[in-house]
Amino acid sequence: MKSHPASLFKALADENRLRILNLLLVEEMCVCQLECVLGIKQSNLSRHLTKLAQSGLIVPEKRAQFVFYRIDPEASASYPGFEAFLRHALENIPAHRTDIENYTRDKNAGMLCLSKCKL
């Protein structure tokens, strides 16, 4: 893990960041996908993604003009069981289940920017 554990807990102390992590536990996503599903303005979303990346929980990957985010495998290795704990904790929050349902529905309907983001 790249940072002090205190930054991990600070990153987890925000509902929007938990919603982002919840979605990234499903699969990697680009900023525009997260923006669509969460209904968060891009500037606010970028601030949350930066905090999560600085904490070592997620990693960005730039592909052309798009930035994709995923759970950092180093975080999972540094804290065995952390991903399982996070999945279990977040799946029991109704709003987080709704985010996953909305993402799945919109993805299956081709309503996300997936066609632009698949490179």
Residue ranges per structural domain of the chain: 5-108
At residue 3, the pLDDT reads: 63
Assign 16 a pLDDT band (cuts: 50, 70, 90).
very high
- CA separation for the pair 58, 75 (Å, rounded): 8
Q: Which residue has the higher pLDDT, 26 or 113?
A: 26
To the nearest whole percent, how much of the chain has pLDDT over 70? 91
Rounded CA-CA distance 51/87 in Å is: 20
* Per-residue model confidence as pLDDT tens digits over 46-55: 999 999 999 9
- pTM for the complete prediction? 0.88
Architecture of the domain delimited by 5-108 = Orthogonal Bundle (1.10)
What pLDDT, in 10s, does the model give residues 81-119? 888 999 999 988 999 999 999 999 988 887 766 555 554
Q: Per the structure block, which two tokens stand in for 23?
A: 């979605």
